[in-house]
Amino acid sequence: MTQFLESYFPNAVAIQGEFIQATIDTIYMTFWTSLVAGVLGVFFGVLLVVTRPGGILEQRLIFTILDQVVNIVRSIPFIILLSLLVVFTRLIVGTSIGAKAALVPLIAGVIPFFARQIEIALLEVDPGVIEAAEAMGTSPLGIVFRVYLKEGLPGIVRVSALTIINVIGLTAMAGAVGAGGLGSLAITRGYNRFQTDVTVVAMLIILILVFISQGISNLIIKKITH
């Protein structure tokens, strides 16, 4: 096996330590981005649902502003968002290079995407259940937690898995501007130095991370739907 790897992936074998660190950086960026953007994304997603016309806390102005902000930020290509937030990133973390610095644009880019996904998932909740909860005198906060989030849990898990996979892809893109991780390794070593085997191995590790994320989400969905 070792001989096979050294024959077909000589450059990748020579920098095993860098691959380990790059994988750790990718997992670091994915975890913290998913956690922070996940919490805020759920908050804004719920806000979009309850303040929309006909919602349990209808506020057309709030809904319109939030809806437009989500649309605008989602429309900005991530690579451009990275550039736009350089100054803000330096202000927050003191640098614009590295995995820690990448968290700022990653979180900013993922929040509107996840908020929209949460909105779509919650809108699939049976309106009849919501009406029944209102008829029973359940408070708006109670409806959010006992109806929307509880009944929409399978959908929330599905869109969360989709978002995490999207985040993994964005970390690779962030590597193009010095964020670190597998994307950076694939570019600096694989592309710039014409070491194709490094790019291939980085891609395979990214795919493994995606498959693991998808597998875990499938298990969770299977458990909560039975």
* CATH code at position 89: 1.10.3720.10
CA distances from 171 to 31, 77, 146, 213 (A): 11, 14, 34, 15
- The per-residue pLDDT for range 201-222, each reduced to its tens digit, is 999 999 999 999 989 888 888 8
Mean pLDDT, to the nearest integer, of 125-137?
A: 88
Residue-wise burial string across 7-17, b where 16 or more C-beta atoms lie within 10 A, e elsewhere? eebebbbebee
Domain with 204 in it: 2-224
| Predicted confidence (pLDDT) at residue 114 exceeds the cutoff of 90 | yes
Report helix, strand or coil for 111.
helix
Task: Output the pLDDT for position 29.
Answer: 93
- The per-residue pLDDT for range 55-109, each reduced to its tens digit, is 899 899 999 999 999 999 988 888 888 888 888 888 888 877 888 888 999 999 9
Domain count across the chain:
1
Does residue 155 contact residue 123 with C-beta atoms inside 8 Å? no
| Predicted confidence (pLDDT) at residue 6 exceeds the cutoff of 80 | no
Cα 92 to Cα 67: distance, rounded to the nearest angstrom: 26
Does residue 153 contact residue 124 with C-beta atoms inside 8 Å? no
